[in-house]
Chain A
Amino acid sequence: MNRAPLIFLGIFFAIAFSWTGIILTNQISYGSLTPYVNADDGKAYPQSVPGDAARGKLVYQDLGCIYCHTQQVRQPGFGIDIERGWGERGSVARDYIRESRVFLGTMRTGPDLRNVGTRFAGQGGREWHIKHFYDPTITSAGSIMAPYRFLFETKAIIGDASPKAVQSLLPENHQPVAGSEIVLKQRGEDLIAYMLSLKDPELYPEEATKVYVPKAEPAKTEHGAHGAESNKEAAK
């Protein structure tokens, strides 16, 4: 009795089944989601990211930030991402459709970065990132994030000091020897541009009706603050 063909058929069926279900079905059902065009401003959301941020994403990829950071905000009621200020709403599939590579991530050694561009924005945000990448403990005492000092270079000042020198942002113990300065390499600039670009738009109308549950009443937050106070009280 040769049952090899039968076994083989079963083996084939098993994987074909999951491939059809998990991948093919979803590819068909939402694999061609399109951006939402807002009638008011005529823009398509999510918007595409500018070139330097796109290059910065490659730096994020090659340095492996994904092994400590996620880029997905959990829905209200599942975890407390929104209470933590990691986003106004949970992430939805449409948020990712412009990304040639999606970095959802699986690990939160560090905070979620999906909307980090709203927490650190503008010139102040840029300076925060410079300090943080140079040595994370400057901004966040006790951080175990890897330092990215190799995104900077220390070089002798020739002629005038560079307008892009960053050492003035750094504390005493990180100052270079006299006559030299610290500048951010292009890769570092790109990475920061990527960080500043990370924020999801307000909700698209379609998802609003389907997955979005309004945030808890503001009263809840006050309640929370009060709770924190009383915790401190208890600790004393």
Chain B
Amino acid sequence: MASASQLASSLSPSASPQLAKRAELSAIDASTKLPALFFFGSAVLWLIVGTLFALIASFKMHTPTFLGDYEWLTFGRVRTAHLNAVIYGWSVNASFGVAFWLMARLSRAELRHSGMLLIASAFWNVGVTLGIYGILTGDSTSIEWLEFPSYATPLLFFAYALVGAWTVITFRFGRSKHIYVSQWYILAALFWFPWLYSVAQIMLIFSPARGTVQSLVNWWFAHNVLGLWFTPIGLGAVYYFLPKVLGKPIHSYYLSVLGFWSLAIFYNWAGVHHLIGGPVPIWVQTAGITASFMMVIPVIVTAINHHLTMIGNFSKLKYSPTLRFIVFGAVAYTFTSLQGSSMSIRSWSEVTHFTQYTIGHSHAGMYAFFSMVMFGSIYYILPRILLKEWPSAKLISLHFWSTALGVIFMVLALSIAGVKQGIDLNTLPVGADGHTGSPVPFLEIVKNTIPWLKLRSYAGILMTIGHVAFAINFVWMLLKARPAGVTAPTLFRDVPELEVSR
């Protein structure tokens, strides 16, 4: 590569900076190839496994006798296996790959000793496998988001430390003088996660705090995994790919800095909104509500920045798969975050908390935002490290439409079910004559949710189709022979000349 660029620059000096930059990028991409493939490959595998668990759990919710006699597949276990497979299996594996790939590119540093990252990946995936196995066989801790039994956690911790260290080292030895906002996000996430994880392990498992202090630790951890790990990685990716694919700079540098710091300050405190009305001190609930509200600032700032970058370029959505997924994710981020802030209002929390509405909200966040951004990122990164293109644009299109529609239906179904459920659970009905009646019988509330739970299952089937399309394309791409000569990115359709020159 290097010699080719030297040759090129000696032939045509004017083209040299461009070419040299290309060559440098290729060398950096090449250095990340094996570990990135390993992380993305395992991510896709966990996505499929996690989706299967999800389907089983979802069917059980309206048809409890479905696989009802298998202890290891009982609802409480399979639902937990689903959550942990898609969070620690799919999402974290994908975010590792995206994080160090982005870091290497943005820091202009080749990944050194990438074998260490392969070891990390092996440890991480063995840890997740052990953890899921533990949950299915009855060793779950039943602490939400920390269900993995304690024999899995040291492996995860070790793997995490390796990935974190390697990414920071890559940053440290980079040639780039400037620190781009995506790097801020990734560095912060890498630092925040181990702190969260160690405090949670110590105060919940090794030496549990007394009483409901545990619940505070639990939700400080669980909500911050979203806010201080997945959100920064997701936003970091949006901040990189959006301008990259559009070929124009991000709308405003200052807004991105403001967005970053306000997120760092406010998100931290927001987790307590999971305990509104619960047996924890009122002042800390109020602090959580306030912080959740202040989250409107980083969200709006980031939204303005993303959407103003995008404006005037919507026609490009027709062509670029990466852009389509990323833009969907960015819009979902704005929606979910505002929804989340509203859910912390005491009277709205009174209705929506403890219901399917919350489940809908978490899918809006982890799926419609985060997972869609990861899909988009993988569609961009893989061709660069494999030097070949996605075999089928049709499969990408199928992936996009079935997951996009699927998650929209799912969130809608759960939200409607949840609001109805929450109102019936928490308010006394008022009769036609103005008298308040007695509470709606519990079994009637159960009955009312069932049609929506079925709709959720159908939405889940739609998303499964998308995941299978993605997995097929992924494997097919790995097996496909590399074409000779230059490759062009896979687009949904041929771009008219005009679009390119613009």
Q: Identify the A interface with B (CB < 8 A).
A: 1-4, 7-8, 10-12, 14-15, 17-19, 21-23, 25-27, 29-33, 60-68, 70, 72, 74-75, 78-80, 83-84, 90-97, 99-111, 136, 140-150, 223-228, 230-231, 234
Contact = CB atoms under 8 A, between A and B. Distances in A.
A22 B212 contact: no
B436 A227 contact: yes
B211 interface: yes
B143 interface: yes
Instruction: Name the residue among B199, B277, B284, B359 with the largest chain A CB count within 10 angstroms.
Output: B277
21 contacts: A10-B261, A14-B265, A21-B269, A21-B287, A22-B269, A22-B272, A25-B284, A27-B209, A27-B213, A31-B209, A61-B142, A79-B426, A83-B428, A107-B359, A141-B443, A145-B64, A146-B60, A223-B436, A227-B431, A227-B433, A230-B437
A228 to B, nearest CB: 4
Contacts of B138: 62-63
A226 to B, nearest CB: 6
B429 interface: yes
B438 A224 contact: yes
Contacts of A62: 77, 138-140, 142
Interface in B437-451: 437-439, 442-443, 446-447, 450
Interface in B280-330: 280-281, 284, 287-288
A105 B447 CA distance: 22
B341 interface: no
A8 B213 contact: no
Nearest to B425: A108
B76 A96 contact: no
B108 interface: no
A103 B281 contact: no
Contacts of B438: 83, 224-225, 227-228
Given A14-B268, A223-B435, A224-B438, A147 B68 contact: yes
B264 interface: yes
A143 B61 CA distance: 10
Interface in B236-281: 261, 264-265, 268-269, 271-272, 274-275, 277-281
Nearest to A91: B279
Given A106-B358, A231-B429, 12 more contacts: A15-B268, A23-B216, A63-B77, A72-B279, A78-B277, A80-B426, A91-B278, A102-B214, A136-B64, A146-B75, A147-B64, A231-B437
Given A15-B195, A62-B140, A146 B443 contact: no
B64 A107 contact: no
B269 to A, nearest CB: 5
B140 A64 contact: yes
Given A23-B199, A227-B435, A29 B426 contact: no
A216 to B, nearest CB: 11
B144 A106 contact: yes
Contacts of A92: 279
A7 B350 CA distance: 38
Which 10 residue pairs across A and B have the least CB separation, nearest first?
A64-B76, A18-B268, A227-B435, A227-B437, A62-B138, A108-B354, A96-B211, A14-B264, A79-B426, A61-B142
B80 A31 contact: no
Contact of B217 (A23, A75, A143): A23
Nearest to B434: A227
A105 B215 CA distance: 9
B337 interface: no
Given A14-B265, A23-B203, A97-B211, A142 B447 contact: yes
B210 A26 contact: no
A79 B350 contact: yes
A32 B61 contact: no
A7 B187 contact: yes
Contact of B187 (A8, A25, A93): A8
Interface in B395-447: 425-433, 435-439, 442-443, 446-447
B463 to A, nearest CB: 21
A187 B296 CA distance: 48
Interface in B348-390: 350, 353-355, 358-359
Contact of B220 (A4, A10, A18, A140): A18
Given A27-B213, A141-B443, A79 B277 contact: yes
A167 B195 CA distance: 52
Contacts of B488: none
Interface string B208-228: 111111111100100010001
Contacts of A102: 211-212, 214-215
Contacts of B140: 61-62, 64
